Amino acid sequence: MGVNSNGAVANPILTLENIHVQFGGITALRDEHLSVAPGEIVGLLGQNGAGKSTFVNVAAGAVRPKRGTMFVEGRRVDILGKPREIERVGIKVIHQEPTLVECLSVADNICLGRPGEWRRPAARKQCARKALQLLGSAMNVDRLVSSLGFAERKVVDLARALSTDMKVLLLDEPTGALGQDETDHLLNLLRNLARQGKGIVYVSHDLRVVLAVCTRLVVLRGGRVVLNEPAEAFNLTKLSKALAPTPSKTKQPTTGAEAEIVLEIKRDNQLLQFPRGGIIGLFGLAAGAQFRLTERLFGLGGSIEATLDGKRYAPSGPRNAIKRGVYYVSADRERDGLLGRMSALENLVLPWIERHTWAGTYSRPRAAVVFDKARLHLNITGAFMDGPISALSGGNRQKIVLGRWIFGDRPRVLLLSHPTQGVDVGARRDIAKALRELANDGVTVLVSSSEADEIELICDTTYICFGDHWPRSEAAPDWAESLLQSLLVQMATNTETRV
Amino acid sequence: MTARAIGYFLARNGTFVGCILLTIFFYYWNSNFLSLLNLRNIGEALSALGVVSIPLALLMIGGAVDLSVGSVASLSGVVAATCMINAGSVALGIIAGLIVGLTSGLINGLLVSYYRFNSIVITLGALSVWGGLALNLTGGRTVIGLPESFTGLALIKPAGIPLDVFVLLATILYGVIALEILPYGRRLRAAGGSPRAAFLMGVPVERTQLLMFVQVGLAAAVAGIMLASKLAAATPITGQGMEINSLTVVLLGGVAFTGGVGRISRVSAGLLFVGILRNGLVFLNTSQFLQQILIGLTLIVAIVFDETISKLGQGRPLALKLENEHEP
């Protein structure tokens, strides 16, 4: 199949031309091209934010580009059209998150929007079983979707989409939750569809799967296509290099004898050690094992084998963890961290409200001391401490949540998930600085993240959280790039991740 | 003083203003309305309702509701009366009545807080169960012949104020201390308004809510016993309608069904409003049925008014118009 310099193939079934997408001031795609020929499976690769999902969303009609044109089988499609119209011309998109109706059965979900089968229950079940068969699943089609786990939902979602007719299929990270057996079935199915002359675009981080199924690879970086070549020319190493081009060495785990070890976590065959005064990253995939580990350290969702200051540490819940001096700032601070109906001050001091008292009664002036400290260090602006928290801007609300766990009381160990997500550059620096001061004060800080930039900004050292043995990496120039590279290597050499 | 500032003031203090306006109106109609005797009547008539309403407000601020209070009051009264007559001890009877309240609170609290069933459903069921139990226990008859030392309790008037009113004032004071003065109140509001966030901050959400249910149960028992003492009899339907009335008071007091917001002072004003309205309409010589219509209407008007004012504060369209009026 010939590929010219423009990335165009002969007789494409789908062509996207000069697609330019901007979100606010950020350019997500710069006048880029993507075309797919019948029978091709194009692997779309790149780091987080490289523009992969943007391409898929443009084709789905979910994102409106500033300019650009789209052709299906040589006919122009209105790129600003409604998603439904785009689906009608034969483009099918399977998003990362399954979109199913919770209160309906598996059979009903698969046959929704198919008037032929919808009328008779027996026909619905028959049709659903056939669709699931495509993925090698023998799931009971009478089960309610609300009773299914994520992996099963994914299978139902895929079965629904794959059993309908389409010309072009775009899949965004389809195998993330699937088991080996289902993945194999899916890949075979995709190869079959390609053989029938469909065009397929496959977005994934899983390099092995990409190499196993794709016929052509397109790599994006910063909204530009930097590579567009047939897949045969690549193996794992070459592909990882292409994705993160400036590799630097990952340091071997150092035995930290200098600092006192505050927290130790025992994994299957590895002892993770966290010294006093260190800022240690836990870097991995989005929704990866590092977040589960952090939650367990706070007594949420499962047990953990750990010691804190040499004593066994097995928190039964947040209350228990907080008593031992282990605090947690979750990634979803709006939902998990804010008391929406209370004042900014109350939000800041609530976990220790018993201490801000005078003769047993709540003392606002005492609590206000903490507020002033947080305001000073985190640069909280325009905050009226007795006003409702909802009156503050988003960035300031985030700072209140962070400030609670940093200044409300001195933590022994502070756990943070994506601490700088959703705040502007200035606030990022304020937060990094506050965490550094806290660490200098002897607190152990654990930062779990799937953003290499965030790890580079905040941490001294980090574990790469994928696979059986998590390697460690020390801060270095261009650290973010090398972290990504290391993660890709881990993914290429390991199968699964456990906490 | 802009229109917006007046709006804000009314939104925060509407219930108080309502009380004052109502008082002026009734006083204008009949100057006896503000006589010491009548004020005492108002206080006495409100006491049982208030004793239930204040703890119910705390429970609702904690994010749950208890619809079984009326039935619990009835059953407690009946059980207390029966025990008193059969055992010949007033104290034993009161303790038996309180145990009924405690049990009801514990059951509701465990099912709602720890097992996460919907509080409306559970306590609606409990409303039927306890009410039916009270009827079964007495065969539908009123228990009479209570010891005089018990019926005399309602007649004690230190400094000319009935004991009932003292109990009511003590309940209000307790509510203010628990919710607004002790740090506990902030935890309660956190648990009610944002249970997940509160849990992640180490607030024992389940235990906090359970405690509120127990308090409401006990308060309902106290109200039932107070009514039995005042009426010198315990009927199995004494508490009927108490759930609706106390809920009305709490909602008039600005407490939201969604939990987390509310002030005891405003709930007390809501209570006073209902008391003044009921008493004043008797002065006007109107029918009892009109009373019910007016209280219901007041609740609806109050909620609509509240919503409008808070929208005026947040969503801009109306507020902008008010601002522009002052531009040249």
Helix, strand, coil in percent for chain B, rounding step 5: 80, 0, 20
User: B63: which chain A residues are within 8 Å (Cβ-Cβ)?
Assistant: none
Tell me whether residues A356 and B183 touch, CB distance under 8 A. yes
**pLDDT (tens digit per residue) in A276-301:** 999 999 998 877 889 999 999 999 98
Tell me whether residues B186 and A336 touch, CB distance under 8 A. no
Residue A250, pLDDT score:
37
Please state the rounded mean pLDDT for residues B75-104.
95
Residue A498, pLDDT score:
55
Tell me whether residues B193 and A360 touch, CB distance under 8 A. no
| More reliable by pLDDT, B313 or A214 | A214
Residue B247, pLDDT score:
94
Tell me whether residues B193 and A328 touch, CB distance under 8 A. no
Q: What are phi and psi of B96, to 5 degrees?
A: -60, -45
Residue showing tokens 């930062």: A447
Amino acid at A312: R
Surface-to-core class of residue B314, CB atoms within 10 Å of its CB (0-12 exposed, 13-18 middle, 19+ buried): exposed
Residue B309, pLDDT score:
66
Tell me whether residues A335 and B199 touch, CB distance under 8 A. no
Whether A24 shows a pLDDT value over 50: the answer reads: yes
Residue B191, pLDDT score:
95
pTM recorded for the entire structure: 0.72
Are the CB atoms for A361 and A389 separated by under 8 Å?
A: no
Tell me whether residues B189 and A339 touch, CB distance under 8 A. yes
**pLDDT (tens digit per residue) in B152-204:** 888 888 888 889 999 999 999 999 999 999 999 999 999 999 999 999 999 99
Give the tokens for residue B29: 């109609």
Tell me whether residues B260 and A341 touch, CB distance under 8 A. yes
Distance of residue A345 Cα from the nearest chain B Cα, in angstroms: 11
The secondary structure of residue A362, as a DSSP letter, is E
Compare CB distances from B261 to A319, A341, A362 and report the shortest one's residue: A341
**pLDDT (tens digit per residue) in A308-322:** 998 999 999 999 999
- Cβ neighbour number for residue A350 with a 10 Å cutoff: 24
Tell me whether residues A353 and B196 touch, CB distance under 8 A. no
The secondary structure of residue A100, as a DSSP letter, is -
SS3 B157: coil
Please state the rounded mean pLDDT for residues B24-46.
89
Residues 6 or more apart whose CB falls under 8 angstroms from that of A374 comprise: A348, A380, A399, A400, A403, A404, A406, A407
Residue of B nearest to A361 (CA): B182
User: B189: which chain A residues are within 8 Å (Cβ-Cβ)?
Assistant: 339, 341-342, 346
User: B200: which chain A residues are within 8 Å (Cβ-Cβ)?
Assistant: 298, 318, 328, 330, 336-337
The segment with the largest mean pLDDT, out of A20-24, A441-445, B114-118, B169-173, is B169-173
Tell me whether residues A342 and B203 touch, CB distance under 8 A. no
Whether A255 shows a pLDDT value over 50: the answer reads: no
Residue B327, pLDDT score:
30
Tell me whether residues A342 and B186 touch, CB distance under 8 A. yes
Q: Name the least confident of A38-47, A75-84, A263-272, B93-102.
A: A75-84
| CB-facing half-sphere around the CA of A289: CA atoms within 13 A | 17
Residue B311, pLDDT score:
64
Residue A253, pLDDT score:
38
User: B187: which chain A residues are within 8 Å (Cβ-Cβ)?
Assistant: 350, 353
The secondary structure of residue A257, as a DSSP letter, is -
Helix (H) or strand (E) holding A199: strand A199-203
| Dist. CA A19–CA A291, nearest whole Å | 35
**CB-based contact (8 Å) between B199 and chain A?**
yes
Please state the rounded mean pLDDT for residues A41-60.
82
Surface-to-core class of residue B89, CB atoms within 10 Å of its CB (0-12 exposed, 13-18 middle, 19+ buried): middle
Whether A335 shows a pLDDT value over 60: the answer reads: yes
- Which residues on adjacent β-strands are paired with residue A94? A171
Residues 6 or more apart whose CB falls under 8 angstroms from that of B81 comprise: B93, B143, B146, B228, B233, B234
Whether A480 shows a pLDDT value over 80: the answer reads: yes
**CB-based contact (8 Å) between A75 and chain B?**
no
Tell me whether residues A340 and B194 touch, CB distance under 8 A. yes
Residue of B nearest to A367 (CA): B183
Are the CB atoms for B187 and B203 separated by under 8 Å?
A: yes
Residues 6 or more apart whose CB falls under 8 angstroms from that of A317 comprise: A299, A300, B199
Compare CB distances from B190 to A298, A350, A361 and report the shortest one's residue: A350
Distance of residue B146 Cα from the nearest chain A Cα, in angstroms: 43
Residue of A nearest to B201 (CA): A351
ipTM score of the complex? 0.82
Residue A48's pLDDT band (cuts 50, 70, 90): low
Whether B322 shows a pLDDT value over 60: the answer reads: no
Residue of B nearest to A354 (CA): B183
Residue A383, pLDDT score:
61
Compare CB distances from A342 to B181, B190, B202 and report the shortest one's residue: B190
SS3 B138: helix
**CB-based contact (8 Å) between B198 and chain A?**
yes
Q: What are phi and psi of A221, to 5 degrees?
A: -145, 125
Compare CB distances from A357 to B183, B194, B197 and report the shortest one's residue: B183
Please state the rounded mean pLDDT for residues B8-20.
81
Whether A6 shows a pLDDT value over 60: the answer reads: no
Are the CB atoms for A58 and A79 separated by under 8 Å?
A: yes
Helix (H) or strand (E) holding A289: helix A289-297
List, as ranges, residues 166-185 from B with C-beta within 8 Å of A. 181-183, 185
**CB-based contact (8 Å) between B8 and chain A?**
no
| Dist. CA A106–CA A129, nearest whole Å | 9
**pLDDT (tens digit per residue) in A69-90:** 888 888 888 777 677 778 788 8
Residue A249, pLDDT score:
37
Tell me whether residues A350 and B199 touch, CB distance under 8 A. no
**CB-based contact (8 Å) between A397 and chain B?**
no
Tell me whether residues B261 and A353 touch, CB distance under 8 A. no
Compare CB distances from A318 to B190, B202, B261 and report the shortest one's residue: B202
**pLDDT (tens digit per residue) in A195-252:** 988 999 999 877 888 888 999 999 888 788 888 888 888 888 788 777 765 443 333 3
Whether B326 shows a pLDDT value over 60: the answer reads: no
Tell me whether residues A346 and B186 touch, CB distance under 8 A. yes
Mean pLDDT of chain A: 84
**CB-based contact (8 Å) between A366 and chain B?**
no
Q: Are strands A357-358 and A326-329 parallel, antiparallel or unpaired?
A: unpaired
User: A330: which chain B residues are within 8 Å (Cβ-Cβ)?
Assistant: 200
| Dist. CA B74–CA B132, nearest whole Å | 10
- Cβ neighbour number for residue B91 with a 10 Å cutoff: 12
User: Residue B117 region, left (φ>0) first, then alpha (ψ -120 to 50), else beta?
Assistant: beta
Residue A177, pLDDT score:
67
Residue of B nearest to A330 (CA): B200
Residue of B nearest to A405 (CA): B201
The residue among A328, A336, A353 with the most chain B CBs within 10 A of its CB, best to mutate, is A353
User: B198: which chain A residues are within 8 Å (Cβ-Cβ)?
Assistant: 339, 350
Rg (CA), chain B: 21
- Closest Cα partner for A207 from A491, A451, A442? A491
Residue of B nearest to A353 (CA): B183
Tell me whether residues A339 and B199 touch, CB distance under 8 A. no
Tell me whether residues B202 and A322 touch, CB distance under 8 A. yes
The secondary structure of residue B142, as a DSSP letter, is P
User: B203: which chain A residues are within 8 Å (Cβ-Cβ)?
Assistant: 319, 350-351
User: Residue A422 region, left (φ>0) first, then alpha (ψ -120 to 50), else beta?
Assistant: left
| More reliable by pLDDT, A7 or B202 | B202
**CB-based contact (8 Å) between A340 and chain B?**
yes
Give the tokens for residue A33: 């091209």
SS (H, E, C) B91-130: HHHHHHHHHHHHHHHHHHHHHHHHCCCCHHHHHHHHHHHH
The per-residue b/e assignment along A209-224, b for 16 or more CB within 10 angstroms, e otherwise, is: bbbebbbbbbbbbebe
Residue of A nearest to B180 (CA): A362
